[in-house]
Amino acid sequence: MVRLPATILCLLSLAAPALAQTSSPAPAPSATAEDAWPWPLPDPKSWWDDKWPVAPEAADPLAGRRLGRSEPAIAIDNGYDPLLYRLWALPPLQNQILRNGEMILEVAVRPSTSARQSLIRVIVRRDGKTFVQARAGLGCCEPGIARRVGFDAELPAGSAAKFLALREDPLWDAPREVRVAEGSDAADALCIDGTSYDLTLVVPGKSRSVRRACDSAEVGQAADVLEAALGAALGHEPRFDVIYPTGASFESARAAYRQLTAEGGQLKPAPHSRPQPPTFQPSAAQEDAAPAP
């Protein structure tokens, strides 16, 4: 009878380590909605009814405008649907309303070997202010624009004159799409790699869109416009700047275009290019007239 308690104590001392080894760990705290959302959860009704912060002026420099009773909307024919602009978090170009002395310059950049696309828009307003809006992202693999970055900024005072002068660039009276012909007996250059640039100019009452792609001489015809737009967009957002390691210079493309024309070559309309309207060049007197009330 004396041995029984001693035996029980011995067995308990041997079992203690085993019990400690097989005990289950404490459950991890479950993730809650409060943990996933970094701020207090909003009241469902206030999410829809409460006022939100007003967007800065640079986010929509032409906001609040309405077409006149007999004023037609400007036709935009650059291949960009209004919903695509909204994916880029930009006001659709089709909805922008311009007054005398104003303009919009837009450049869409699409590399043929990468999904990394960018979109630049410069707006010159009749009060002399100039704004740049730029976006970059991956145009594939997700329903939206993946890894989208962007910014809206006002450019320094005096920037308007440089962009207003681009309205007179011969590019806007050139064919919508072109091919390089190096002399009368040469075949058109075959483009298999490179970057396409869709350029759009909008002035009161009309717009013009052209595409220049792949061949350096082809891109060189638009060098002045491309340098102005890209130069305005660089220096605001490092994640945008890194896409353009060589900066905003198109000097090599400009030189290729000059060499082409000097040697008798030309840029002729692409076989299936849609025709442009008869002429585009805006009248400086009309564009720079006093703004309408």
pLDDT grade for 31, boundaries at 50, 70 and 90: very low
Domain that holds residue 198: 72-166+194-214+222-248
Element (H, E) at 144: none
Residue 247 has pLDDT above 90, yes or no: yes
The CA distance from 207 to 92, in Å, is 14
Confidence class for position 244, pLDDT limits 50, 70, 90: very high
Tens-digit pLDDT profile for residues 181-237: 886 654 555 556 689 999 999 999 899 999 999 889 999 999 999 999 999 999 999
Q: pTM here?
A: 0.80
Q: Is residue 275 in a domain?
A: no
Residue 107: helix, strand or coil by DSSP? strand
Q: Is the pLDDT of residue 17 over 60?
A: no
Per the domain annotation, does 135 fall within a domain?
Answer: yes
* DSSP three-state, residue 189: coil
- Contact criterion met (CB below 8 Å) for 102 and 289: no
Domain contains 154: yes
How does residue 22 score in pLDDT terms, banded at 50, 70 and 90?
A: very low
DSSP H helical ranges for the chain:
3-22, 33-36, 44-49, 82-87, 160-165, 216-220, 223-233, 238-241, 251-262, 284-287
Q: Is a pLDDT exceeding 80 seen at residue 45?
A: yes
* Dihedral sign computed on CA atoms, order 38, 44, 45, 48: positive
Distance CA 139, CA 152 (A): 20
Examine residue 56 and state whether it is found in any structural domain, yes or no: no
Q: Half-sphere exposure (CA, 13 Å, Cβ side) for 195? A: 20
The better pLDDT of the pair 257, 36 is held by: 257
Tokens 């959302």, located at residue: 37
57-94 pLDDT, tens per residue?
Answer: 999 999 999 998 888 888 898 989 999 999 999 999 99
Res 6: pLDDT: 54
201 Cβ neighbours under 8 A, 6+ residues apart: 103, 104, 105, 106, 166, 167, 172, 207, 208, 209, 280
Q: Is residue 17 part of a domain?
A: no
Q: Cα(202)–Cα(208) distance, rounded to whole angstroms? A: 7
Outline where DSSP puts E strands in the chain: 103-111, 116-124, 130-138, 146-154, 178-181, 195-203, 206-213, 266-269
Mean of the pLDDT values across residues 277-289?
55
Residue 88 domain flag: yes
| pLDDT tens per residue, range 98-115 | 999 999 999 999 998 889
Q: Per the domain annotation, does 239 fall within a domain?
A: yes
- When the pLDDT of each residue in the chain is averaged and rounded to a whole number, the result is 84
pLDDT band of 289, cuts 50, 70, 90: very low
Q: Among the listed ranges 36-40, 86-90, 165-169, 235-239, which one has the minimum average pLDDT value?
A: 36-40
Question: Quick check: is 12 in a domain?
Answer: no
Q: Which residue has the higher pLDDT, 58 or 34?
A: 58
Note the pLDDT of residue 280: 65
Number of folded domains that form the chain: 1
CB 62 within 8 A of CB 93: no
Give exposure, 104-125, as e/b (b: 16+ Cβ within 10 Å).
bbbbbbbeeeeebbbbbbbbbb
